[in-house]
Amino acid sequence: MGEGVLMGAGRRVGGSASQAALLDDAGLVLQHGELAMAGVPLSGIAREVGTPVYVYNAEAIRNRFRALDLAFAAVPHRICYAVKANSNLAVLRLLRDLGAGADLVSAGEMQRALAAGFRPEDLVFSGVGKTTAELRMAIQADVGHINVESLEELERLAVIAEGLGLPASVGLRINPDVTTETHPYISTSKGGIKFGVPHDQVGRAADLILRHPLLTLSVLAMHLGSQLRDPGPYREGLERLVGLLHLLRSRGCTTVRALDLGGGLGIRYAEEPGLDPAELAAVVSPLLEQAGPPAYFEPGRFLVGSSGLLLTEVLYRKHSGGRDFVIVDAGMNDLLRPSLYKAHHEIVEVAPAGREVATVDVVGPVCETGDFFALERALPRVEPGELLALLGAGAYGFVMSSNYNTRARAAEVLVDGGRMAVVRPREELADLFGRERADPFAAATR
Q: Which residues pair with 312 in a beta bridge?
A: 388
What is the rounded (10 degree) CA torsion for 130, 136, 138, 144? Answer: 110
- Contact assessment for residue 269 and residue 25, using Cβ atoms and an 8 Å cutoff: no
CA distances from 209 to 122, 171, 198, 400 (A): 21, 10, 16, 35
Sign of CA dihedral 112, 113, 119, 124: negative
Q: Which of 330, 391, 324, 327 has the alpha carbon at shortest distance from 363? A: 327
- Contact assessment for residue 68 and residue 303, using Cβ atoms and an 8 Å cutoff: yes
The catalytic position among 2, 184, 367, 406 is 367
Q: How many CB atoms lie within 10 A of CB 10?
A: 7
Gyration radius of the chain over CA positions: 24
- Contact assessment for residue 94 and residue 56, using Cβ atoms and an 8 Å cutoff: no
CA distances from 431 to 260, 313, 398, 403, 438 (A): 41, 24, 18, 11, 14
Question: Rounded to whole angstroms, how far apart are CA atoms 144 and 258?
Answer: 11
- Contact assessment for residue 166 and residue 214, using Cβ atoms and an 8 Å cutoff: yes
Q: Distance between terminal CA atoms of the chain?
A: 75
Any idea what DSSP says for residue 265? Answer: B
Is 367 among the residues known to form the active site? yes
Question: Rounded to whole angstroms, how far apart are CA atoms 28 and 119?
Answer: 33
Q: How many residues does the chain have?
A: 446
Residues designated catalytic: 367
